[in-house]
Amino acid sequence: MIVIQSSADDAATQDVLDWMRYLRQDVPIADLYDTLPVDDLSLYIGDNGAAKNAVTVNGRRLDIGGIRSSWFRRGRFTMRADSKLPSWNRLAATENEDVLGLIDDLIYPGDRSINKFSDVLINKLKCLALAEKAGLLIPATLVTTAFTALLQFAREKQLIILKPIGTPFFKIACNERYNAHVVNKVSQVSHAQIERLGVLYPGDKMSTTCAQQYIEKKWEIRTVFLNNECYSMAIFSQQNEQTRIDFRNYDEERPNRCLPYSLPDTIVEKLRKLMLLLNINCGSIDMIYTPQKEYVFLEVNPVGQYGWLSTHCNYFIDKRIALLLLSRYDE
Amino acid sequence: MTSEISFYRSSVQAMIQKDAPAFPAGIQFADIMIEDKHYSDPAASEEEDPGGSHAVAPSFFYKQISRFINPELL
Protein backbone atom coordinates (compact mmCIF):
# COMPACT_ATOMS: atom_id res chain seq x y z
CA MET A 1 0.00 0.00 0.00
CA ILE A 2 1.03 3.60 -0.63
CA VAL A 3 -0.15 6.21 1.87
CA ILE A 4 -0.69 9.77 0.72
CA GLN A 5 -1.75 12.33 3.31
CA SER A 6 -2.77 15.79 2.17
CA SER A 7 -5.50 18.40 2.17
CA ALA A 8 -8.55 17.89 0.01
CA ASP A 9 -8.04 21.18 -1.81
CA ASP A 10 -4.38 20.63 -2.75
CA ALA A 11 -4.26 20.45 -6.56
CA ALA A 12 -0.66 19.20 -6.52
CA THR A 13 -1.71 16.05 -4.66
CA GLN A 14 -4.39 15.31 -7.23
CA ASP A 15 -1.84 15.76 -10.04
CA VAL A 16 0.42 13.16 -8.40
CA LEU A 17 -2.52 10.81 -7.93
CA ASP A 18 -3.46 11.25 -11.59
CA TRP A 19 0.07 10.26 -12.62
CA MET A 20 0.02 7.26 -10.30
CA ARG A 21 -3.29 6.03 -11.71
CA TYR A 22 -1.99 6.58 -15.24
CA LEU A 23 1.28 4.75 -14.59
CA ARG A 24 -0.11 1.89 -12.52
CA GLN A 25 -3.62 0.71 -11.78
CA ASP A 26 -2.69 -2.22 -9.53
CA VAL A 27 -1.24 -0.31 -6.60
CA PRO A 28 -3.49 0.18 -3.56
CA ILE A 29 -3.39 3.80 -2.43
CA ALA A 30 -4.71 5.12 0.87
CA ASP A 31 -5.30 8.82 0.32
CA LEU A 32 -6.04 10.62 3.56
CA TYR A 33 -7.25 14.19 3.68
CA ASP A 34 -7.31 17.05 6.17
CA THR A 35 -7.68 16.48 9.91
CA LEU A 36 -8.45 12.86 10.71
CA PRO A 37 -9.15 11.25 14.08
CA VAL A 38 -7.24 8.15 15.12
CA ASP A 39 -10.01 5.74 16.12
CA ASP A 40 -7.85 2.97 17.53
CA LEU A 41 -4.36 1.60 17.34
CA SER A 42 -2.03 -1.17 18.47
CA LEU A 43 1.66 -0.45 18.11
CA TYR A 44 4.28 -2.93 19.26
CA ILE A 45 7.80 -1.78 20.00
CA GLY A 46 10.34 -4.61 19.99
CA ASP A 47 9.57 -8.29 20.52
CA ASN A 48 9.15 -8.71 16.73
CA GLY A 49 5.73 -7.14 16.96
CA ALA A 50 6.13 -4.60 14.18
CA ALA A 51 4.28 -6.75 11.68
CA LYS A 52 1.15 -6.48 13.82
CA ASN A 53 1.20 -2.68 14.03
CA ALA A 54 -2.07 -1.16 12.88
CA VAL A 55 -3.81 2.19 13.11
CA THR A 56 -7.42 2.93 12.24
CA VAL A 57 -7.86 6.46 11.00
CA ASN A 58 -11.34 7.84 10.45
CA GLY A 59 -12.67 4.31 10.01
CA ARG A 60 -9.86 3.24 7.67
CA ARG A 61 -7.48 0.55 8.90
CA LEU A 62 -3.82 0.99 8.02
CA ASP A 63 -1.59 -2.05 8.52
CA ILE A 64 1.74 -0.37 9.10
CA GLY A 65 3.68 -3.41 7.88
CA GLY A 66 1.85 -3.22 4.56
CA ILE A 67 2.84 0.38 3.86
CA ARG A 68 5.61 0.22 1.28
CA SER A 69 5.90 3.90 0.52
CA SER A 70 4.29 7.09 1.71
CA TRP A 71 4.06 10.84 1.13
CA PHE A 72 3.11 13.43 3.69
CA ARG A 73 2.02 16.68 2.14
CA ARG A 74 -0.65 18.25 4.34
CA GLY A 75 -3.21 17.36 7.00
CA ARG A 76 -2.86 15.79 10.43
CA PHE A 77 -4.03 13.02 12.70
CA THR A 78 -5.66 13.83 16.00
CA MET A 79 -6.31 11.93 19.21
CA ARG A 80 -8.36 13.22 22.08
CA ALA A 81 -9.60 12.05 25.41
CA ASP A 82 -13.30 12.52 26.04
CA SER A 83 -13.23 12.55 29.82
CA LYS A 84 -15.40 14.98 31.73
CA LEU A 85 -12.26 15.98 33.62
CA PRO A 86 -10.47 18.79 31.72
CA SER A 87 -7.26 18.21 33.71
CA TRP A 88 -7.11 14.59 32.53
CA ASN A 89 -7.89 15.63 28.94
CA ARG A 90 -4.93 18.02 29.04
CA LEU A 91 -2.62 15.32 30.35
CA ALA A 92 -3.90 12.83 27.78
CA ALA A 93 -3.30 15.37 25.02
CA THR A 94 0.38 15.49 25.97
CA GLU A 95 0.63 11.71 25.97
CA ASN A 96 -1.22 11.53 22.67
CA GLU A 97 1.32 13.87 21.06
CA ASP A 98 3.97 11.24 21.80
CA VAL A 99 1.78 8.53 20.27
CA LEU A 100 1.10 10.66 17.19
CA GLY A 101 4.86 11.18 16.87
CA LEU A 102 5.35 7.40 16.87
CA ILE A 103 2.62 6.98 14.22
CA ASP A 104 4.36 9.66 12.14
CA ASP A 105 7.67 7.75 12.33
CA LEU A 106 6.03 4.44 11.47
CA ILE A 107 4.04 5.69 8.46
CA TYR A 108 6.79 8.00 7.24
CA PRO A 109 10.08 6.22 8.03
CA GLY A 110 12.26 8.45 5.83
CA ASP A 111 13.90 5.87 3.60
CA ARG A 112 10.54 4.91 2.07
CA SER A 113 8.67 8.17 2.46
CA ILE A 114 8.60 11.74 1.19
CA ASN A 115 8.34 14.16 4.09
CA LYS A 116 6.59 13.46 7.38
CA PHE A 117 4.19 15.37 9.59
CA SER A 118 6.92 16.51 11.97
CA ASP A 119 8.63 18.33 9.05
CA VAL A 120 5.86 20.92 9.32
CA LEU A 121 7.22 21.86 12.74
CA ILE A 122 10.59 22.95 11.35
CA ASN A 123 12.26 25.68 13.37
CA LYS A 124 13.23 28.37 10.88
CA LEU A 125 15.79 29.90 13.22
CA LYS A 126 17.54 26.59 13.85
CA CYS A 127 17.36 26.01 10.12
CA LEU A 128 19.37 29.18 9.47
CA ALA A 129 22.02 28.09 11.96
CA LEU A 130 22.22 24.67 10.31
CA ALA A 131 22.45 26.28 6.87
CA GLU A 132 25.53 28.12 8.03
CA LYS A 133 26.89 24.87 9.45
CA ALA A 134 26.34 23.29 6.02
CA GLY A 135 28.56 25.99 4.52
CA LEU A 136 25.84 28.16 2.98
CA LEU A 137 25.89 31.93 3.21
CA ILE A 138 22.99 33.32 5.26
CA PRO A 139 21.88 36.90 5.96
CA ALA A 140 23.14 38.40 9.22
CA THR A 141 20.23 37.72 11.58
CA LEU A 142 19.22 39.11 14.94
CA VAL A 143 16.56 37.62 17.22
CA THR A 144 15.93 39.95 20.10
CA THR A 145 13.50 41.23 22.70
CA ALA A 146 15.49 44.46 23.22
CA PHE A 147 14.57 47.47 21.11
CA THR A 148 18.03 49.00 21.59
CA ALA A 149 19.63 45.86 20.14
CA LEU A 150 17.33 46.13 17.12
CA LEU A 151 18.18 49.81 16.74
CA GLN A 152 21.90 49.08 16.91
CA PHE A 153 21.53 46.29 14.32
CA ALA A 154 19.62 48.65 12.01
CA ARG A 155 22.29 51.32 12.49
CA GLU A 156 25.04 48.87 11.49
CA LYS A 157 23.22 47.40 8.51
CA GLN A 158 21.28 50.56 7.46
CA LEU A 159 18.61 48.53 5.65
CA ILE A 160 17.08 45.56 7.39
CA ILE A 161 14.22 43.11 6.95
CA LEU A 162 11.74 42.41 9.72
CA LYS A 163 10.12 39.04 9.30
CA PRO A 164 7.73 36.85 11.30
CA ILE A 165 9.32 33.88 13.02
CA GLY A 166 6.22 31.75 12.59
CA THR A 167 2.88 32.25 10.93
CA PRO A 168 2.42 35.79 9.63
CA PHE A 169 -1.33 36.03 10.28
CA PHE A 170 -3.60 36.70 13.17
CA LYS A 171 -7.24 37.60 13.33
CA ILE A 172 -9.14 40.05 15.49
CA ALA A 173 -12.92 39.88 15.65
CA CYS A 174 -14.19 43.49 15.36
CA ASN A 175 -17.89 42.72 15.58
CA GLU A 176 -20.42 40.27 14.14
CA ARG A 177 -19.80 41.50 10.63
CA TYR A 178 -16.12 42.43 10.42
CA ASN A 179 -12.86 40.67 11.23
CA ALA A 180 -9.50 42.35 11.04
CA HIS A 181 -6.65 40.23 9.63
CA VAL A 182 -3.19 41.43 10.53
CA VAL A 183 -0.56 40.25 8.08
CA ASN A 184 2.89 40.51 9.58
CA LYS A 185 4.58 40.38 6.21
CA VAL A 186 8.30 40.64 5.48
CA SER A 187 9.06 44.38 5.66
CA GLN A 188 12.13 46.28 4.55
CA VAL A 189 12.86 49.11 6.97
CA SER A 190 15.60 51.66 7.37
CA HIS A 191 17.49 52.69 10.46
CA ALA A 192 15.48 55.94 10.48
CA GLN A 193 12.17 54.03 10.52
CA ILE A 194 13.33 51.89 13.42
CA GLU A 195 14.50 54.99 15.26
CA ARG A 196 11.01 56.51 14.93
CA LEU A 197 9.51 53.41 16.61
CA GLY A 198 11.50 54.19 19.76
CA VAL A 199 8.60 56.01 21.44
CA LEU A 200 6.60 52.76 21.44
CA TYR A 201 9.17 50.94 23.59
CA PRO A 202 9.93 53.13 26.61
CA GLY A 203 10.99 50.08 28.64
CA ASP A 204 13.16 48.73 25.78
CA LYS A 205 11.22 45.44 25.93
CA MET A 206 9.35 44.04 22.93
CA SER A 207 8.09 40.65 21.86
CA THR A 208 10.72 38.52 20.14
CA THR A 209 11.62 40.19 16.88
CA CYS A 210 13.54 38.68 14.00
CA ALA A 211 15.59 41.08 11.87
CA GLN A 212 17.88 40.33 8.97
CA GLN A 213 20.31 42.38 6.97
CA TYR A 214 18.68 43.39 3.69
CA ILE A 215 20.56 41.76 0.85
CA GLU A 216 20.49 43.20 -2.62
CA LYS A 217 19.63 40.57 -5.18
CA LYS A 218 20.04 40.05 -8.89
CA TRP A 219 17.38 37.39 -8.77
CA GLU A 220 15.71 34.97 -6.38
CA ILE A 221 15.94 31.23 -6.67
CA ARG A 222 13.26 28.75 -5.64
CA THR A 223 14.54 25.19 -5.54
CA VAL A 224 12.51 22.06 -5.03
CA PHE A 225 14.64 19.44 -3.34
CA LEU A 226 13.39 15.93 -4.04
CA ASN A 227 15.19 12.60 -3.77
CA ASN A 228 18.54 14.36 -3.32
CA GLU A 229 18.11 16.35 -6.56
CA CYS A 230 17.56 20.08 -6.98
CA TYR A 231 15.01 21.52 -9.39
CA SER A 232 15.59 25.25 -9.48
CA MET A 233 13.97 28.33 -10.96
CA ALA A 234 15.28 31.89 -11.14
CA ILE A 235 12.69 34.55 -10.34
CA PHE A 236 13.44 38.02 -11.65
CA SER A 237 11.68 39.92 -8.91
CA GLN A 238 14.14 42.74 -8.30
CA GLN A 239 12.84 45.15 -10.95
CA ASN A 240 9.29 45.10 -9.60
CA GLU A 241 8.65 47.33 -6.58
CA GLN A 242 5.95 44.98 -5.29
CA THR A 243 8.13 41.87 -5.38
CA ARG A 244 11.53 43.46 -4.77
CA ILE A 245 11.71 42.43 -1.11
CA ASP A 246 9.85 39.15 -1.40
CA PHE A 247 8.60 37.62 -4.65
CA ARG A 248 5.72 36.14 -2.67
CA ASN A 249 4.10 39.58 -2.66
CA TYR A 250 2.85 38.45 -6.05
CA ASP A 251 2.17 40.93 -8.80
CA GLU A 252 -0.76 39.36 -10.62
CA GLU A 253 -0.82 42.10 -13.27
CA ARG A 254 2.84 41.84 -14.20
CA PRO A 255 4.09 38.46 -12.97
CA ASN A 256 7.81 38.04 -12.44
CA ARG A 257 9.78 36.40 -15.23
CA CYS A 258 10.76 32.86 -14.18
CA LEU A 259 13.31 30.58 -15.85
CA PRO A 260 14.79 27.12 -15.19
CA TYR A 261 18.09 27.50 -13.37
CA SER A 262 21.11 25.29 -12.72
CA LEU A 263 22.71 25.75 -9.34
CA PRO A 264 26.50 25.28 -9.10
CA ASP A 265 27.45 21.79 -7.88
CA THR A 266 29.06 23.27 -4.77
CA ILE A 267 25.75 24.87 -3.73
CA VAL A 268 23.81 21.68 -4.49
CA GLU A 269 26.19 19.74 -2.25
CA LYS A 270 25.70 22.24 0.56
CA LEU A 271 21.92 22.01 0.19
CA ARG A 272 22.16 18.21 0.39
CA LYS A 273 24.21 18.57 3.56
CA LEU A 274 21.64 20.97 5.02
CA MET A 275 18.69 18.67 4.26
CA LEU A 276 20.63 15.82 5.90
CA LEU A 277 21.22 17.97 8.99
CA LEU A 278 17.53 18.88 9.06
CA ASN A 279 16.53 15.25 8.49
CA ILE A 280 14.06 16.19 5.76
CA ASN A 281 14.12 14.67 2.29
CA CYS A 282 11.91 17.08 0.38
CA GLY A 283 11.32 20.81 0.52
CA SER A 284 11.14 24.16 -1.23
CA ILE A 285 14.28 26.21 -0.69
CA ASP A 286 14.49 29.98 -1.18
CA MET A 287 17.78 31.65 -2.01
CA ILE A 288 19.07 34.95 -3.35
CA TYR A 289 21.74 35.49 -5.99
CA THR A 290 23.52 38.75 -5.21
CA PRO A 291 25.21 41.31 -7.48
CA GLN A 292 28.44 40.04 -5.87
CA LYS A 293 27.68 36.63 -7.44
CA GLU A 294 27.01 34.94 -4.12
CA TYR A 295 24.23 32.52 -3.23
CA VAL A 296 22.53 33.41 0.04
CA PHE A 297 20.21 30.89 1.70
CA LEU A 298 16.97 32.28 3.12
CA GLU A 299 14.73 29.42 4.20
CA VAL A 300 13.34 26.00 3.48
CA ASN A 301 9.68 25.05 3.58
CA PRO A 302 9.45 21.25 3.86
CA VAL A 303 5.94 21.09 2.47
CA GLY A 304 6.04 24.08 0.15
CA GLN A 305 4.30 24.54 -3.17
CA TYR A 306 6.05 23.19 -6.25
CA GLY A 307 3.36 23.05 -8.95
CA TRP A 308 4.04 26.60 -10.03
CA LEU A 309 7.78 26.00 -10.40
CA SER A 310 7.22 22.66 -12.08
CA THR A 311 4.90 24.16 -14.70
CA HIS A 312 7.14 27.14 -15.45
CA CYS A 313 10.23 24.98 -15.91
CA ASN A 314 8.77 21.74 -17.30
CA TYR A 315 10.24 19.75 -14.42
CA PHE A 316 7.19 17.43 -14.12
CA ILE A 317 7.73 17.20 -10.39
CA ASP A 318 4.29 15.64 -9.89
CA LYS A 319 5.33 12.80 -12.19
CA ARG A 320 8.68 12.47 -10.43
CA ILE A 321 6.92 12.15 -7.07
CA ALA A 322 4.57 9.53 -8.50
CA LEU A 323 7.49 7.56 -9.94
CA LEU A 324 9.44 7.81 -6.70
CA LEU A 325 6.50 6.50 -4.66
CA LEU A 326 5.94 3.66 -7.13
CA SER A 327 9.61 2.70 -7.27
CA ARG A 328 9.77 2.49 -3.48
CA TYR A 329 6.59 0.46 -3.51
CA ASP A 330 8.26 -2.01 -5.90
CA GLU A 331 11.54 -2.30 -3.96
CA MET B 1 -19.11 50.78 4.58
CA THR B 2 -15.83 52.52 3.76
CA SER B 3 -15.92 54.64 6.89
CA GLU B 4 -16.70 51.59 9.02
CA ILE B 5 -13.76 49.75 7.50
CA SER B 6 -11.47 52.72 8.04
CA PHE B 7 -12.65 52.95 11.62
CA TYR B 8 -11.89 49.30 12.39
CA ARG B 9 -8.58 49.48 10.61
CA SER B 10 -7.54 52.58 12.54
CA SER B 11 -8.69 50.97 15.79
CA VAL B 12 -6.56 47.89 15.17
CA GLN B 13 -3.61 50.09 14.22
CA ALA B 14 -4.01 52.10 17.42
CA MET B 15 -4.29 48.96 19.51
CA ILE B 16 -1.10 47.54 18.00
CA GLN B 17 0.75 50.78 18.68
CA LYS B 18 -0.55 51.13 22.22
CA ASP B 19 0.36 47.55 23.07
CA ALA B 20 3.59 47.62 21.03
CA PRO B 21 5.83 45.80 23.57
CA ALA B 22 3.53 42.76 23.35
CA PHE B 23 4.24 42.40 19.61
CA PRO B 24 7.37 41.95 17.51
CA ALA B 25 8.54 45.24 15.99
CA GLY B 26 7.61 44.09 12.48
CA ILE B 27 3.92 44.20 13.36
CA GLN B 28 4.09 48.00 13.18
CA PHE B 29 4.56 47.60 9.41
CA ALA B 30 1.93 44.90 8.98
CA ASP B 31 -0.93 45.00 6.50
CA ILE B 32 -4.33 45.23 8.14
CA MET B 33 -7.16 43.83 6.08
CA ILE B 34 -10.80 44.04 7.06
CA GLU B 35 -12.93 41.02 6.25
CA ASP B 36 -16.61 41.53 5.59
CA LYS B 37 -18.16 38.25 6.67
CA HIS B 38 -21.41 39.07 4.85
CA TYR B 39 -19.68 39.32 1.50
CA SER B 40 -19.27 36.25 -0.67
CA ASP B 41 -17.88 35.85 -4.17
CA PRO B 42 -17.96 32.32 -5.61
CA ALA B 43 -15.40 33.25 -8.28
CA ALA B 44 -12.88 34.00 -5.56
CA SER B 45 -12.37 30.30 -4.88
CA GLU B 46 -10.32 30.15 -8.09
CA GLU B 47 -7.61 32.29 -6.54
CA GLU B 48 -4.45 30.55 -5.43
CA ASP B 49 -1.14 31.16 -3.75
CA PRO B 50 1.31 29.81 -6.31
CA GLY B 51 4.56 30.22 -4.42
CA GLY B 52 3.22 28.91 -1.15
CA SER B 53 4.26 31.85 0.99
CA HIS B 54 1.38 31.19 3.30
CA ALA B 55 1.47 27.44 3.38
CA VAL B 56 1.33 27.39 7.15
CA ALA B 57 -1.40 29.97 7.40
CA PRO B 58 -5.08 29.41 6.68
CA SER B 59 -5.42 28.95 2.95
CA PHE B 60 -8.75 30.71 2.95
CA PHE B 61 -6.94 34.03 3.11
CA TYR B 62 -5.83 33.99 -0.49
CA LYS B 63 -8.70 31.87 -1.68
CA GLN B 64 -11.25 34.40 -0.57
CA ILE B 65 -9.19 37.52 -1.00
CA SER B 66 -12.06 39.46 -2.50
CA ARG B 67 -13.81 39.33 0.87
CA PHE B 68 -11.01 41.42 2.29
CA ILE B 69 -10.91 45.11 1.82
CA ASN B 70 -7.87 47.26 2.26
CA PRO B 71 -9.05 50.87 2.59
CA GLU B 72 -5.80 52.08 1.02
CA LEU B 73 -6.97 50.54 -2.22
CA LEU B 74 -10.39 52.18 -2.19
Q: What's the pLDDT tens digit per position in A88-147?
A: 999 999 999 999 999 999 999 989 999 999 999 899 999 999 999 999 999 999 999 999
Q: Which residue has the higher pLDDT, A238 or A66?
A: A66
Q: Do A308 and B51 touch (CB under 8 A)?
A: yes
The pLDDT assigned to B63 comes to: 36
> So what's the ipTM on this one?
0.76
The pLDDT assigned to A248 comes to: 66
Q: Is A231 helix (H, G, I), strand (E, B) or coil?
A: strand
Nearest to A182 among B12, B21, B36 (CB): B12
Does residue B66 carry a pLDDT above 60?
Answer: no
The pLDDT assigned to A297 comes to: 98
Q: Is A22 helix (H, G, I), strand (E, B) or coil?
A: helix
Q: How far apart are CA A104 and CA A236, in angstroms?
A: 38
Q: Work out the average pLDDT over A169-184.
A: 85
Q: What are the C-alpha distances in Å from B34 to residues A73, A180, B37?
A: 31, 5, 9
Cβ atoms of A169 and B57 within 8 Å: the answer is yes
Q: How far apart are CA B63 and CA B43, in angstroms?
A: 10
Q: How far apart are CA A151 and CA B21, in angstroms?
A: 15
Question: What is the total residue count of chain A?
Answer: 331
Using pLDDT thresholds of 50, 70 and 90, give the confidence band for residue A178. Answer: confident
* Percentage of the residues of chain A whose pLDDT score is greater than 90: 76
Cβ atoms of A62 and A55 within 8 Å: the answer is yes
Q: How far apart are CA A146 and CA A203, in angstroms?
A: 9
Cβ atoms of A151 and A158 within 8 Å: the answer is no
- Count chain A–chain B contacts defined by CB atoms under 8 A: 130
Does residue B33 carry a pLDDT above 70?
Answer: yes
Using pLDDT thresholds of 50, 70 and 90, give the confidence band for residue A179. Answer: confident
Q: Is B12 helix (H, G, I), strand (E, B) or coil?
A: helix
The pLDDT assigned to B7 comes to: 86
- What's this model's pTM, rounded to 2 decimal places? 0.83
User: How close B10 comes to chain A (CA, Å)?
Assistant: 11
Q: Which residue has the higher pLDDT, B57 or A17?
A: A17
Cβ atoms of A168 and A183 within 8 Å: the answer is yes
Q: How far apart are CA A49 and CA A311, in angstroms?
A: 45
User: How close A35 comes to chain B (CA, Å)?
Assistant: 14
Q: CB neighbours of A131 closer than 8 A, spacing ≥ 6?
A: A138, A274, A297
User: How close A22 comes to chain B (CA, Å)?
Assistant: 25
Does residue B51 carry a pLDDT above 70?
Answer: no
User: How close B66 comes to chain A (CA, Å)?
Assistant: 13
Using pLDDT thresholds of 50, 70 and 90, give the confidence band for residue A249. Answer: low
The pLDDT assigned to B52 comes to: 42
Nearest to A185 among B8, B30, B58 (CB): B30
Q: Do B61 and A181 touch (CB under 8 A)?
A: yes
**pLDDT of A256-290, one tens digit each?**
888 999 999 999 999 999 999 999 999 999 999 99
Does residue B50 carry a pLDDT above 60?
Answer: no
Which of chain A's residues have a Cβ under 8 Å away from the Cβ of B17? Answer: 200
Q: Do B34 and A178 touch (CB under 8 A)?
A: yes
Using pLDDT thresholds of 50, 70 and 90, give the confidence band for residue B57. Answer: very low
